[in-house]
Amino acid sequence: MRLLLVEDDLMIGESVLDLLRAEGYAVDWVKDGEMADTALDSQTYDLVLLDLGLPRRDGLAVLRRLRARKDRTPVLIATARDATAQRVEGLDMGADDYIVKPYELDELLARIRALIRRAAGRAEPVYEHLGVSIDPVTREVTLDGQAVVLSAREWSILELLLARPGMVLSRRQLEEKLYSWKDDLSSNAVEVYIHGLRKKLGPRVIQNVRGVGYMIPKSAP
Partner 1 sequence: MSLPLSHSLRARLLWLLLVAILFTAGAQAVIAYRTALAEADVIFDYQMQQMALSLRAGLPVGGELGEPHGTKDEENFDFLIQVWTADGLRIFQSTPQAELPQRAVLGFSRVQARGTTYRLFSIAAGTQVIQVAQDMAARREMAGTLALRTVSPMLVLVPLLMLVVWGVVSASLAPVSRVRQQVATRQADDLSELNEDDLPDEIHPLVHELNLLFHRVRQAFDAQNNFVADAAHELRSPLAALKLQVQGLRRAADDATRDVAINRLNTGIDRATRLVEQLLVLARQQSNSAVGAKAVPIDLTTLARLALADAAGSAAARQIDLGLVQADPGIVMGHDEALRILMRNLLDNAIKYTPAGGTVNLAIRCHDGQTLLTVDDSGPGVAAEDRQRVLDRFYRVAGTEGSGSGLGLAIVKTIADLHQATLSIDRSESLGGLRATVTFTNVS
Interaction site with partner 1 (CB under 8 A): 8-16, 18-19, 22, 31-32, 53, 55-56, 79-83, 100-105
- Edge-to-edge strands, sheet with 97-100: 26-30, 2-6, 47-50, 75-79, 97-100
**Which one-letter amino acid corresponds to residue 176?**
E
Q: Would you state the torsion angle of the CA atoms of residues 110, 159, 140, 106, taken in this order, to the nearest 10 degrees? A: -10
In the complex, minimum distance from the CB of residue 163 to partner 1, in angstroms, rounded to a whole number: 25
Q: Least separation, in Å, of the C-beta of 10 and partner 1?
A: 3
Characterize 178-217 residue by residue with b for buried, 16 or more Cβ atoms within 10 angstroms of its Cβ, and e for exposed: bbbeeeeeeeebbeebbeebbebbeeebbbeeeeebbbbe
- Residue 65 C-beta: closest distance to partner 1, Å: 18
CB of 101 to partner 1, least distance (A): 4
* 177 to 1, 3, 62, 92: CA distances (angstroms): 5, 9, 22, 28
With respect to partner 1, which residue has the nearer C-beta, 9 or 191? 9
Which C-beta is closer to partner 1: that of 107 or that of 144?
107
CB 79, min distance to partner 1, A = 8
- In this complex, which beta carbon is closest to partner 1, that of residue 81 or of residue 129? 81
Nearer of residues 182 and 218 to partner 1, judged by Cβ: 182
| Closer residue to partner 1 (CB): 80 or 192 | 80
